[in-house]
Amino acid sequence: MLLLRRVCFLLPSPSPRAPLAKPLPLPLRPPRTLAPAARPLASMAAPAGGTAATSRDAFRAAVTNTLERRLFFVPSFKIYGGVAGLYDYGPPGCAVKANVLAFWRQHFVLEEGMLEVDCPCVTPEVVLKASGHVDKFTDLMVKDEKTGNCYRADHLLKDFCKDKLEKDQTLSPEQAEEYNKILAILDDLSAEQLGAKIKEYGIVAPDTKNPLSDPYPFNLMFQTSIGPSGLSPGYMRPETAQGIFVNFKDLYYYNGNKLPFAAAQIGQAFRNEISPRQGLLRVREFTLAEIEHFVDPEDKSHPKFGDVSDLEFLMFPREDQMAGRSATRLKLGNAVSEGTVNNETLGYFIGRVYLFLTQLGIDKDRLRFRQHLPNEMAHYAADCWDAEIECSYGWIECVGIADRSAYDLRAHSDKSGEKLEAHEKFAEPREVEKLVITPSKKELGLAFKGNQRMILEALEAMGETEALEMKAALESKGEVEFKVCTLGKDVTIKKSMVSINIEKKKEHQRKFTPSVIEPSFGIGRIIYCLFEHCFYLRPGKAEDEQLNVFGFPPLVAPIKCTVFPLVKLEKFEVVAKKISKALTAAGISHIIDMTGNTIGKRYARTDELGVPLAITVDNTTSVTVRDRDSKDQIRVEVDEVASVVKEVTDGQSTWADIMWRYPAHTASVAEDEEAEP
């Protein structure tokens, strides 16, 4: 379940129609370069007298300005002033999103033979009580003591420390070390510790400079009621995963009672973010695509791991993070064999996620897989990695890939009373030894009251070695100190509170609760990073003129090609309509533009939408086809042009392949003229 939690403050974009005062330090591409990815942000030169931060801000403003002006997305309810954290996708944004989701289904659901489900957004409280969301899905919030405006406490402290480190030239080494340490342990700070640091540093409300309240927890779920009586409480789901878990029994039966198998779901999720100010990266309603791959906990090998084991990409193991080292390129097979990645199935999905993102158009040099640190790991998790993509906001978590062990199915089994188990039948009865951990709910309740459930879950989740050590300690001393990660402290467990035994019995089958490997995709975050990675500028004809281009791969481009009659002549318009009909029959999205604008202006306008190919009708028997990134043109017969476009946009051939087969066309000055749209 992907946690979309990190937030910064989004600077206001310039007016959509405002001209740029001077060329920005943005990625520029020579006319003949075919590679679609812009330069890494880290390599951008800061403007004269500026900083890397201002360069990033300028880049982000240019991208956002273009996206909003071309209606990829806009703030929702804009005529009423908008609502923070809610956005509408316009026509090209909808098309990009649909293409990303279509490829996600192809890459995962179809190629991996997954079972797709579609569950309601409104979820009964009992389901989210069992999953822990009702009690634990909170962030610490502070309020402006005069206006009542709310802010994430940890983000205010994080922004303060980062601002000091980036902009304060007078910092001493001791102060820099302190701020870096706070950033490293931010997730571990309690409400009291956060409040103390906010007061120590004099942090105030960013909008009004008023003093702030002490931090207090705020549940991020939208609450509702099911039915007119209001007696059946519910929530808008904060993730799609729980619908899969509660359907495990039926899905297992549908799959022929066989493991492993995976279920997938694409759908809307809702989180009442305290202060969403990061565009599409932090919103209150968003699209998740989640996979729950159920596997035998005793066999987490994967038959197709060899398909991805040779992949090499940036990985950031926890040991490197804790030692202050940078991410390095590792071969996935080595990472699994050496134990850096816990098991083959987890490694397989890391590899598949890498292939998915890079084929979409994410720059492989700005993609890394970061392993969760010990303080980020849930007590039940075996291993967790985040696919992080670098954009102008820094490294952004876009996909979470976690081995969640058997926690989710066990939680719903306990709450519902329905056994969510799998079984393995034996050819002959087997005598087996079973470790049986039986906590005493009564004794735990008397001793720990409201913390009873978390301690109970931690005891049941113990591995065999830990349980046997506890058994020996209880028998010799009568009590033992036991660390409960969800409480963040040790508790004293007495002999009367838990029974730990090894029992021998004959069994005809083995019953067990499957483990789950969960890749969870924040689709909006991936799309925003894709926008930044594909955006670049190239010189126009006028001095200092720069033209915006989205270099989308054909796979995700919102429109695959355009059709332009060179001039307004009836014979050219007839040919354009004939080509449009052939493109429609081939299932190729396109636009036909018969306006009187110069062909250069029409090229520039569609380049800004990321259209890969443009067909110019300048003859009744053959036409020119122009590639967006290289601006190279070829001449193709009218009857062949739809099949050529389909070859390129379906990925059957590259533009370079096509250029080998068709004669190059040299554009006239009138055709090649480009101006800012």
User: Which of 605, 587, 570 lies closest to 642, judged by CA?
Assistant: 587
Q: What is 298-325 written as a DSSP string?
A: T----TTGGGTTT-EEEEE-HHHHHTTP
Distance in angstroms (rounded) separating the CA atoms of residues 341 and 120: 34
Question: Is residue 363 within 8 Å of residue 382, measured between CB atoms?
Answer: no
The amino acid sitting at 256 is G
Higher pLDDT, 403 or 434: 403
Question: With 90 as the cut, is the pLDDT of residue 664 above it?
Answer: no
Most confident segment among 12-21, 127-136, 182-191: 127-136
So what's the pLDDT on residue 306?
Answer: 96
So what's the pLDDT on residue 547?
Answer: 92
So what's the pLDDT on residue 3?
Answer: 41
* Mean pLDDT (whole number) for 571-583: 94
Question: With 90 as the cut, is the pLDDT of residue 303 above it?
Answer: yes
State both tokens at 300: 């987490």
Which residue in this structure is represented by tokens 């102008």?
392
Q: Around Cβ 435, how many Cβ atoms within 10 Å?
A: 14
- In angstroms, the Cα distances linking 338 to 171, 330, 332, 343 are 41, 11, 10, 10
User: Which of 98, 72, 74 lies closest to 86, judged by CA?
Assistant: 74
- In angstroms, the Cα distances linking 81 to 66, 75, 78, 86, 285 are 20, 9, 5, 12, 18
Coil, strand or helix at 489: strand
Lowest mean pLDDT among 342-351, 501-510, 572-581: 501-510
So what's the pLDDT on residue 615?
Answer: 95
* φ, ψ of residue 9 in degrees (nearest 5): -100, 125
Question: With 80 as the cut, is the pLDDT of residue 666 above it?
Answer: no
Which residue in this structure is represented by tokens 């979470």?
400
Helices (H), 535-592: 570-585
Q: Percentage helix, strand, coil, to 5, in the chain?
A: 40, 25, 35
Confidence of residue 53 (pLDDT cuts 50, 70, 90): low
Beta partners for residue 314, in sequence order: 329, 368
Distance in angstroms (rounded) separating the CA atoms of residues 279 and 10: 7
Question: With 50 as the cut, is the pLDDT of residue 34 above it?
Answer: no
Q: What DSSP element (H or E) covers 355? A: helix 344-360
Distance in angstroms (rounded) separating the CA atoms of residues 22 and 314: 36
So what's the pLDDT on residue 52?
Answer: 63
pTM of the model: 0.81
Coil, strand or helix at 428: strand
Most confident segment among 68-72, 166-170, 656-660: 68-72
Question: With 50 as the cut, is the pLDDT of residue 223 above it?
Answer: yes
Q: Around Cβ 143, how many Cβ atoms within 10 Å?
A: 18
The amino acid sitting at 546 is Q
**pLDDT digits over 595-640, tens only?**
777 888 899 999 999 999 999 999 999 999 999 999 999 999 999 9
So what's the pLDDT on residue 450?
Answer: 85
User: Which of 612, 662, 600 lies closest to 634, judged by CA?
Assistant: 662
**pLDDT digits over 143-170, tens only?**
999 998 999 999 899 889 988 888 888 8
Confidence of residue 381 (pLDDT cuts 50, 70, 90): confident
Cα-based torsion angle of the residue sequence 602, 603, 605, 611 in order, rounded to the nearest 10 degrees = 130
So what's the pLDDT on residue 505?
Answer: 79
So what's the pLDDT on residue 403?
Answer: 96
Residue spans of beta strands (DSSP E) within 440-488: 479-484
Which residue in this structure is represented by tokens 């300005």?
65
Confidence of residue 379 (pLDDT cuts 50, 70, 90): confident
